[in-house]
Amino acid sequence: MVIIYYKQVTSTMDIAHDYASKNFPHGTIILADIQTEGRGRLRRKWISPEGGLWFSIILYPSIYLKKKIDCLGILISVAVYKALDIFLKEKDILNFKWPNDLELNKKKVAGILLESIYENNEIKYIIAGVGINLFVEQSYFQKYDIDATSLKDLVLVEDKLIILKEIRNQILSHIADYPDNWDYVFQFYKSRFPYIGSNAVNRLNGKEVKIVDIDDNGSIILEEENKIKKYPWGGISLEIKRITY
């Protein structure tokens, strides 16, 4: 297993693209303690202080996954969930927020970013970036007014490499087992997605929507202005409306 470690980088995504362009193998991991220019979906900044688990993994998807690339995000989300669950004091306490977030008490604890590189109209490789607020101090989120939380008080081991290796194994086996595992993976994801029926705002156009379902290609189905619309993985950002009592 290749894990390339840096104390500090701009973004593990940039470094992983460099290695992938030099044909580093499937499953190569770039890990950093701190990122100065961490990025999230839709060009958002991803704040990456010491204590987090910030890494990117180089993937060469199979022909099946190349045709169903939206499913890859769900496979990786479920793989990360299952790996984390092993190391948490309480079991099965996280939930998914479509498309790529893991939450604890409906606050973000992890996010996944997929960047694909094409050659001759075909995917050459994908870099999957995973950011987990593993041991980040809780006070950090309050200080910077970030609506997120940390797993710090819930993690059973202190060595983040042990967790990283389990996540890597889960990601690679979930990808290798596709498509045979899809029904199971999809049901696992959906049963831990608590937002069906919730109202949300489509951040791309500011419109109010209702979350109707997730289809088995990983697309979200929304009711927007009395019409049913489908958005693929990563094609939309939703702000779920919280019910406040």
Pairing of strands 3-9, 29-35: parallel
How many residues sit in the footprint of ligand BTN (CB under 6 A)?
22
Smallest separation (angstroms) from ligand BTN to the CB of 195: 16
150 makes contact with ligand BTN (CB under 6 A): no
Selected from 20, 28, 46, 69, the binder of ligand BTN by CB under 6 A is 46
77 makes contact with ligand BTN (CB under 6 A): no
Selected from 61, 73, 99, 111, the binder of ligand BTN by CB under 6 A is 111
Nearer to ligand BTN, 47 or 223 (CB): 47
193 makes contact with ligand BTN (CB under 6 A): no
Burial class (CB in 10 A: 0-12, 13-18, 19+), 199: middle
Smallest separation (angstroms) from ligand BTN to the CB of 121: 26
CA 151, distance to chain mean position in Å, is 15
Which residues have CB under 8 Å from 101's CB, separation 6+? Answer: 108, 110, 111, 112
Smallest separation (angstroms) from ligand BTN to the CB of 112: 6
81 makes contact with ligand BTN (CB under 6 A): no
40 makes contact with ligand BTN (CB under 6 A): yes
Nearer to ligand BTN, 13 or 20 (CB): 13
Sheet containing strand 220-224, strands side by side: 227-231, 220-224, 207-214, 199-202, 238-240
First to last CA, the chain: 49
Q: Which residue has the tokens 């990360």?
A: 80
Measured distance CA(67)–CA(163) in Å, rounded? 30
Considering only CA atoms, which of 108, 87, 104, 102 is closest in space to residue 159?
87
99 makes contact with ligand BTN (CB under 6 A): no
Selected from 19, 54, 189, 193, the binder of ligand BTN by CB under 6 A is 54
> Using CB under 6 A as the criterion, which residues of the chain lie in contact with ligand BTN when the complex forms?
11-13, 35, 38-41, 44, 46, 48, 54-56, 100-101, 111-113, 129-131
